[in-house]
Structure 1
Amino acid sequence: MTGWLDTPQRYGRISRAFHWLMALLFAWQFAGALLYVGIGDTALTRFVGGSHFTLGFTLFVLVWLRGAWGMANLKRRPAHAGRSGRTVKLGHGLIYALMIAVPSLALLRQYGSGKPFSPYGIPLMPGRETKIEWMMVPADLLHYWLGFTLLAVVLGHTAMAFVHRRLQKEDVLARMT
């Protein structure tokens, strides 16, 4: 199992695979959302955004798997000590909370809409004729804004990896590459 599990020096192959796969999928999600906001409903936005529901569900599953994997490796992971460590833990906690909340709201809205949902052809939510309005309201109010809040936090997370490297001479990025 050498190299697969996390160590105090760096994250293992499985943690890194989760991280970079999810980073790539989130980049695609955010690209679609930004294109839609920037240029509206076009062939390009439909192409990029056409996978939004299925990809959001995929990310929802991956965040739970990644969280479980992280908890299983918690005692082996690189440490974040001191005041900076508390800030790192809060930042990561915020990212995880948003990665769970944003698709949870979308799934709640999807169920409330009465429309069927079958990601990858797997029937998760059957269709029905009636809507459940109270299920749709929270996502209508928050999914968009929390999604862009997640984007801002992820950009801050990325920037901090470079700040740590340049200003604090800690190569935290090497732990995840």
Structure 2
Amino acid sequence: MKPDNPQTYGTVSRCLHWLMALCFVVMFGTALAWNINEDYFSLMGIHKNCGIALLVLALVRFVWMHVNLRRRPQHNIIVKLGHIALYLLMIAVPAVGLIRNIGKGAPDGSGEVEWMVQLGNQWHGELAIALGILILGHIAMAVVHQIKREKIINRMLG
């Protein structure tokens, strides 16, 4: 297993990155599907399970990043701020969704905690859109730097 180093990300960092990328495709895909056609609302179970997995993966990745901070490729302040925003949203979006789900209580609606449901209703989708925009920007900048022969994508491909 290859560790992180100043030139490239190691095996664990790469696995966490690409596993989360796959989960985000599922998350945005399922949400888009049922927003286009309500018949696909049956995908909600997959969406919720993947969201919980993303929350756990984001927390693990955050801890892993801090453990390996000195060994990883260095970035300028703009990249660091972008990554901070990504981490905050990668944790906040599923956390707010989970809070809403817990707040809904029992399937029959008993035991509902209104502030938790309202928090989720108000912020889960909006924060997810912000996260999606940041992810697209992240991808775009990686491509731009790759085109400029800075081989940024190579760092995460190994």
TM-score grouping bracket, smaller chain normalisation: over 0.9
Aligned to 1:35: 33
* Counterpart mapping for 1:45-124 below 5 A: 45-46=40-41, 48-80=43-75, 85-115=76-106
- 2:154 aligned partner, one-letter code: A
Q: Is residue 28–residue 48 contact of structure 1 (8 Å, CA) maintained in 2?
A: no
CA apart distance, 1:66: 0.8
How many angstroms apart in 1 are the aligned matches of 2:114 and 2:43?
A: 28
Tell me how far 1:87 sits from its aligned partner.
0.8
Matched, 1:165 2:146: yes
Distance 1:132 1:21 in 2: 33
Q: 1:134 to 1:46 in 2, by over 3 A?
A: closer
Contact 1:31–1:48 (8 Å) recurs in 2 = no
State the superposition RMSD in angstroms: 1.7
- Give the deviation of 1:50 after TM superposition: 3.5
Q: TM-score, with normalisation over the residues of structure 1? A: 0.83
Instruction: Report the AA paired with residue 171 of structure 1.
Output: K
- Higher relative contact order by CA 8 Å / sep ≥ 6: 1 or 2? 2
Distance 1:23 1:155 in 2: 11
Distance in 1 (alpha carbons) for counterparts of 2:70 and 2:120:
36
Change (3 A) 1:78 1:112: same
Asked if structure 2 preserves the Cα contact closer than 8 Å seen for 1:63 and 1:99, the reply is yes
Q: Which runs of 4+ in 1 moved over 6 A?
A: none
Separation (CA, whole Å) in 1 of partners of 2:29 and 2:15: 21
Which structure shows the bigger proportion of residues in helix conformation? Answer: 2
| 2:155 paired residue number | 175
Question: What is the distance in 1 between the residues matched to 2:103 and 2:42?
Answer: 26
Deviation at 1:135, TM superposition (A): 1.3
Q: Alpha carbons of 1:112 and 1:48: their partners in 2 closer, same or farther (altered >3 Å)?
A: closer
Q: TM-score, normalised by structure 2?
A: 0.92
Q: CA separation in 1, counterparts of 2:103 and 2:86?
A: 26
Cα distance in 2 for partners of 1:176, 1:115 equals: 42
Q: 1:151 aligns with which of 104, 123, 132?
A: 132
* Stretches of structure 1 lacking an aligned partner (at least 5 in a row): 117-126
